Structure 1
Amino acid sequence: MSLDKPYQDIPGTTIFDAEQSRKGYWLNQFCMSLMKAENRERFKANQRAYLDEWAMSEEQKQAVLDMDLNRAISLGGNIYFLAKIGATHGRSFQQMAGSMTGMTEEEYRAMMISGGRSVEGNRKLGEDGTAQPHRQPQGQAGKKD
């Protein structure tokens, strides 16, 4: 059963919800395995062979091999778990975030220091171009999840 997801119309945003969690379960489990030094060494020695030990889709494995974090997120990866792949390769979270935005680490750092990404074009828009607040469906007001 699909739940109402009013957050799906936020441009460029993938929300890590229950559906994403299920989709990325094995990808995220693989990432967590990299917390152990011996697993990091095995992964670095033969990435493909190590990935093939996990019940991930071929698309998820390719996203890891390509270090395509945006693709991995769309396939159910959680950024906090995916950060372990970057750390295994000696990359900082800032380097990873920069690569996800098409910026260098320095450009990403400068953007964040100057206040972050502009909200223009990065929020839910109404038909007239003005931001519209998310509203709960009728009968849901005050209901706890």
Structure 2
Amino acid sequence: MSIQDIHEYLAEFEDIPGTRVFTATRARRGYHLNQFAMSLMKAENRDRWKADEAAYLSEWPITDDQRQAVLDRDYNRMLDLGGNIYFLSKIFSTDGISFAEAVSTMTDMSFPEYRDMMMNGGRSPEGNRSIREGN
């Protein structure tokens, strides 16, 4: 596979509606954001974070966009900026929010609507195949 073929293949991942595939590019972009999130696994770091979020974030070499997305709890934006949902889960766990409730904030549904959709088999693939093709 040539370099061009690889880039074309990886570009296809950007055409999945409502999905952000965690590629090597996203991993590099979000390295420090994800390391910050993982730091919340330690109780002392969670305590420092809860005491002053902005001060704690200032210790991490993340971008201004990443910093604002964290402070806004804009998980979709964090994913766009290289966040990995499993690392970001440390943030919403620290906030006392369940995984399902946090993920529901990434949709246009309330938590009960999202929960019901998932309990009934999840999002239909109909109309969710391609951004570019509008289906």
Name the TM-score, length of structure 2 as normaliser.
0.88
Which has the larger helix fraction? 2
Q: CA deviation at 1:125?
A: 7.4
In the aligned structure 2, how far is the partner of 1:41 from the partner of 1:103?
31
Please give the secondary structure, in 1, of the residue aligned with 2:14: helix
Does 1:81 find its partner at 2:87?
yes
Instruction: Compare 3-12 and 49-58 and name the one that shifted more.
Output: 3-12
The one-letter amino acid of 1:48's match is A
Indicate the RMSD between aligned Cα atoms, in angstroms: 1.9
Consecutive unaligned residues in structure 2, runs of 5 or more: none
1:108 aligned to 2:129?
no
- Is 1:48 paired with 2:54? yes
- Whether the aligned pair in 1 keeps the contact of 2:37 and 2:91 (CA below 8 Å) is yes
Contact 2:15 2:132 in 1 (8 A): no
Between Structure 1 and Structure 2, whose CA radius of gyration is higher?
1
C-alpha distance in 2, partners of 1:28/1:126? 29
Q: Which moved more, 1:112-121 or 1:87-96?
A: 112-121
Q: 1:34 maps to what in 2? A: 40
Q: Which runs of 5+ in 1 are unaligned?
A: 131-145
Name the SS of the counterpart of 2:44 in structure 1.
Answer: helix
- SS state of the match for residue 101, structure 1? coil
* CA deviation after TM superposition for structure 1 residue 122, in Å: 1.2
The aligned counterpart of 1:135 is: none
2:30 corresponds in structure 1 to: 24
Matching residue of 2:77: 71
* In 1, Cα distance between equivalents of 2:117 and 2:85: 20
Tell me: higher relative CO, structure 1 or 2? Use CA pairs within 8 A at least 6 residues apart: 2
State the distance in 2 between where 1:107 and 1:9 align.
25
The alignment of Structure 1 onto Structure 2 pairs a total of residues equal to 129
Is 2:33–2:83's contact at 8 Å kept on the other side of the alignment? yes
- Of 5-14 and 29-38, the range deviating more from structure 2: 5-14
Structure 1 runs (4+) deviating above 6 angstroms are: none
Describe the shift of the 1:68–1:126 C-alpha distance in structure 2 as closer, same or farther (beyond 3 A). closer
The alignment-based identity, stated in percent, is 56
The CA distance in 2 between the partners of 1:126 and 1:66, in whole Å, is 29
1:11 pairs with 2:11:
no
